[in-house]
Amino acid sequence: MSTLGPDDVRHLPLFRLLSEPHIIELLATFKVQKVAKGASLFREGEVPSTFLILFKGEVELTEATEPKFTVHPVAPLGELGALTGLPRNTSAVALTDVEVLEAPLETLHRLFATSGELAATFYRGLLDTVADKVRRDKRRLDEMKQNLIRTQKAMKAMRETVLAAQETEISKALFESLDQLIDNNRRTNYRVSPTAGFPAQVKLENGHLANVLEVSEGYLKVEGKTSDLTADPSYWAGVLVMPTTEILVSGTVVREDSTGVVVKLDTLVDEFKAKLDDYSVRLQLLDFVVWSRARTALPRPPPPPPPTCSWR
């Protein structure tokens, strides 16, 4: 049994809807773990196996070694990733000697399997948490979009000013730089990754189907190597096969890494663009909480709309 009681965690969104007996039953699955200052609690990219609640000390969350924020007790640590089985998107390091409550996910799943009312109420709290995050992320994305629009308009005005002015040694380079930036901003979009239940593939000229790893309005990332897709990286064409439709696509290979090939797509006709947009939106609805990855049979509310992430 943990040293925390119902009153200590009732303010947390995940516990807010639970009755006192259910909170006591849930907290009984946690055990106290002590972590020394400077030690890691988890690392970015790891698949969680435990659900953690910080109740003594301070923990710093970092992303790509860059500090994001400091967590103070009482607070869950990486609860969304832990409860959905998604890889951690941050690392956690103890800023002081800390104590956490730790519950193995398998133990929580067994508890939820035997107590449907507890599970349903708990996951309602999880949905509330996700919905709140979606609202915050949407607000930030709207602000980013408005900033991008203002920047784009300013750069276009600067480009026209340079074009109308007397030519100098730097005017051509400045005009070309602005033109490239304007094109890049116009192409900025959001990528999502196809799931096992809602996949996408590209059909190549030889009939081979290559898995699509990431998709957005202007780009595809395809599994394999450039030589698998085309003999000429400056031009590639194929058929994008989605669960409910197929569209013709073409483009230029712009990058290859150890996981796949990034193709910059040519402008799609309106009909094909609408189909790709529909597929992307459906993926975004599945991207944040992947309920199909749950490890045991639990009451499953409808998946919430996820935040998207920017990608070039």
Q: What is the pLDDT of residues 156-187, one digit of tens each?
A: 888 889 888 888 888 888 888 888 787 766 54
The CATH number that domain 190-305 falls under is 2.40.10.430
CA–CA gap between residue 119 and residue 157 (Å, rounded): 56
Q: From its phi and psi, is residue 289 left (phi > 0), alpha (psi between -120 and 50) or beta?
A: beta
Give the pLDDT of residue 278: 83
Region 221-247 average pLDDT: 91
Least confident segment among 31-40, 167-176, 240-249, 255-264 = 167-176
CA–CA gap between residue 247 and residue 272 (Å, rounded): 6
Give the pLDDT of residue 251: 93
CATH topology of domain 6-114: Jelly Rolls (2.60.120)
pLDDT at 292 > cutoff 50: no
Q: What is the pLDDT of residues 41-96, one digit of tens each?
A: 998 888 888 999 999 999 999 887 788 889 999 999 888 777 777 788 889 999 99
Give the pLDDT of residue 185: 66
pLDDT band at 19 (very low <50, low <70, confident <90, very high): very high
Return the HEC string of 248-302: EEEEEEEEECCCEEEEEECCCCHHHHHHHHHHHHHHHHHHCCCHHHCCCCCCCCC
Give the pLDDT of residue 86: 74
Q: Which long-range contacts (C-beta less than 8 Å, at least 24 apart) are formed by 280-285?
A: 280/190, 280/192, 280/215, 280/216, 280/217, 282/198, 283/192, 283/193, 283/194, 283/195, 283/198, 283/215, 284/190, 284/192, 284/308
Type of residue at 164: A
Return the HEC string of 12-80: CCCCCCCCHHHHHHHHCCCEEEEECCCCEEECCCCCCCEEEEEEECCEEEEECCEEEEEECCCEEECHH
Least confident segment among 12-26, 124-138, 175-189, 294-308 = 294-308
Q: Taking a C-beta distance cutoff of 8 angstroms, is the pair 213, 187 a contact?
A: no
Q: What is the pLDDT of residues 186-224, one digit of tens each?
A: 544 567 888 887 899 999 888 899 999 999 878 899 999
Global model pTM greater than 0.75: no
Strands 59-63 and 91-94 come out as antiparallel
Type of residue at 186: R
Return the HEC string of 148-200: HHHHHHHHHHHHHHHHHCCCCCCHHHHHHHHHHHHHHHHHCEEEECCECCECC
Indicate the average pLDDT of the chain: 83
Q: What is the pLDDT of residues 127-149, one digit of tens each?
A: 888 888 878 877 887 887 788 78
